[in-house]
Amino acid sequence: MALWKWLRQHWDWRRETLRTNLWLIPSLEVIGVMLLFTVTYLIDRAAYRSEVTLPSWVMAGTADSGRQILIVIAGALVTVVGVVFSVIIVALSLASTQFGPRMLRTFIRDRGAQFTLGTYVATFAYVLLALISIAPGSHGDFVPHLSITVAMVGMGLDVAVLIYFIHHITVEIQLPRVISRIAAELSQAITTQSAKTRDDVPGSTVGPSAEELLGRLEGSDGVVFVRKSGYLQFIRHQHLVRIAAKADATILLPYRPGHFLVAGSGMARVWPPEAAPVVQRALAKAEVTGHARTLAQDISFGVDQLVEIAIRALSPAINDTFTAMTCIDWLSSSLCRITDHWDPSGVHRDGEGVIRVISTEVGYDRLVQRSFEKIRQAGSGMPAVMIRQLEALTKIMERATTTEQRALLLHQAAMIHEASGSIPEPSDRADVTRRYEALRALHADRAEALVG
């Protein structure tokens, strides 16, 4: 169990790095066809020495005809790879313009595009290997008949992959599909973070309380500094817990994944101060800083992506109300899950229950604010957007379990209702008011049920 938790903690951020690139899948496919060519080449060699007999469906011919076939296939593959690259670049350019530059990550992560690119590169590599294997031998020219046949079969499969890719990229570039994929990744990140929070709960708690330790840490001179500037992407809390336990220290992390760090600034505080050098070395292996935010431990990044699409859709240049409403729908779905499951703990204890790391986590209130405030500001004067936001708040209110959650949601609804004064048409304002009053009635019913 301990090994599994260690692998999961180390795999989360590496998976994100490996997923967001266009070289991993093609590289694996090239390695695969190299192994395939090794097998077909050995069979061809055995057939050349008359040790085995190839099936009748294997292509036969001279060395010159084999070279000509492979050269034609290689030339066609280079052309098609150029077309595939062009389509990918056009898709990325369109995504950057319409969805925002941060949406490029979603398209780069697309397995369909990676698989298509890798298939053509791998087939080209196989054809080159087969081409260079044609050579003179003791029994005449060596012609890898089986390898050439496999190359022709691969060319036929590439045509099918090209048709798949055209369909796939046409579907994936549609805005509702992009939004739903971002929401699905956000939902998965919420589930993962919630599971980690439950795993971090110890069986017993001993030692000073979090409040007492915070008082010590705030006055501590033990400061750990940032190595390089960038966005904090991932923190291995359990690694820091082990280091702190060995040094009998406590670590305060005032920044969370998603924050931008400046080289040379303070990243953590340590008590007692004498343990700061040990923590400084450990933190270099326990945190990942990069040029962009990721969803590995930054739930708010997924929310921000959906909000960004909604704001762009509401801009005067685009004026796409329905896209903004779609984003609000998926934001409400994510917030319903967060309302049910989100309870991040900033306190991390060792096996004995002693607090070793105190981290900063994004709160429920901040996630709700991120989801509604910027869209409310951008959608001023648009009754359809305001009504959809109030309907989303109503769905979330039905899931709310605490008084604080309901008060926060009601406050957001009150701000939306107040902003409805910018709507020129009285009937539209009345529609917004009806949704707001329905939400207030739901809030009152839940409050009465709690008292009862």
Q: What is the pLDDT of residues 77-103, one digit of tens each?
A: 998 888 877 877 777 777 777 777 766
| Lowest-confidence segment of 170-174, 175-179, 243-247 by average pLDDT | 170-174
pLDDT bin (cut points 50, 70, 90) of residue 140 is: confident
Beta-ladder partners of 230:
261
Return mean pLDDT, the chain: 87
| Structural tokens at position 287 | 């945190």
Q: Which amino acid is at 235?
A: I
> How many C-beta atoms lie closer than 10 Å to residue 232's C-beta?
23
Q: 3-state class of 101 per DSSP?
A: helix
- Cα dihedral 347, 352, 354, 356 in deg (nearest 10): -60
Residue with tokens 């220290």: 249
Rounded Cα gap, residues 402 and 367, in angstroms: 16
pLDDT bin (cut points 50, 70, 90) of residue 8 is: low
Contact yes or no for 381/422 (Cβ under 8 A): yes
Q: Which amino acid is at 394?
A: T
pLDDT bin (cut points 50, 70, 90) of residue 1 is: very low
Annotate 212-225 with b (16+ C-beta within 10 A) or e (fewer): ebbeebeebebebe
Beta-ladder partners of 287:
235
DSSP string, 306-372: HHHHHHHHHSTTT--HHHHHHHHHHHHHHHHHHHHH-----EEE-TTS-EEEEE----HHHHHHHHH
Contact yes or no for 203/256 (Cβ under 8 A): no
Contact yes or no for 435/384 (Cβ under 8 A): no
Q: 3-state class of 21 per DSSP?
A: coil
Q: 3-state class of 149 per DSSP?
A: helix
Closest of 197, 35, 182 to residue 109, by C-alpha: 182
Per-residue pLDDT of 183-220, as tens digits, reads 998 988 888 777 665 545 555 567 788 888 888 888 77
Contact yes or no for 351/231 (Cβ under 8 A): no
pLDDT bin (cut points 50, 70, 90) of residue 107 is: confident
pTM: 0.85
pLDDT bin (cut points 50, 70, 90) of residue 2 is: very low
Mean pLDDT on 315-343: 90
Q: Which helix (H) or strand (E) segment is 246 a member of?
A: helix 237-247
Contact yes or no for 148/37 (Cβ under 8 A): no
Give pLDDT, residue 198: 52
Q: Which amino acid is at 155?
A: M
Give pLDDT, residue 174: 83
Contact yes or no for 334/187 (Cβ under 8 A): yes
- Averaging pLDDT over each range in 12-16, 143-147, 262-266, 281-285, which range is the top one? 143-147
Contact yes or no for 390/376 (Cβ under 8 A): no
Per-residue pLDDT of 237-289, as tens digits, reads 888 999 999 989 999 999 999 999 999 888 899 988 899 888 888 888 788 88
Angle in degrees, CA 127, 130, 132, rounded to 5: 110
**CA distances for 272 relative to 156, 216, 240, 338, angstroms:** 67, 8, 15, 36
Residue 417 has pLDDT above 70, yes or no: yes
Strands across the sheet containing 287-290: 260-261, 230-235, 287-290
Q: Establish whether the linkage from the previous residue to 272 is cis, with ω within 30° of 0.
A: yes
